[in-house]
Structure 1
């Protein structure tokens, strides 16, 4: 029964019940999207700031190598070279 006013009731049309049950779709499981860029490695990320002349020098060094490493790879190689030098 559908309450219209206090004490007054009207029957709910039977066709209305079928309309609701047929149009309602079953819920489907939704996968959560992972935001951001996927991980590319397992080593911890390190960052630093370099002025434009230092960056240009690193890029120039990388371009002089036969395999043309990326900026990140060039920085890794230069750090390794610097750590191997004995004082």
Structure 2
């Protein structure tokens, strides 16, 4: 998943759950599903990623306009990959 092993992702989620004191995933031997708190956390984080991407587009546009005015090449400012498309999640997490 996104270049990380399942074990690495599981450890990070377990650390997050311990840190916030809330279980985000229900784990069984056969499946992993989001808890209501997990769905809420996911939705909020997805909005944050979307806001960062929107801000990046605005800043890139402003930088491009400034560079065009100065005759320079345009470039990006900040890259955040958004993977919050529920279709991209494994079936038992969507």
Question: Is the radius of gyration larger for structure 1 or structure 2?
Answer: 1
Same fold flag (TM > 0.5): no
Q: TM-score range by the shorter chain?
A: under 0.3
Please, what TM-score do these two structures have when normalized by structure 1?
0.26
Which structure features the higher share of helix residues?
2
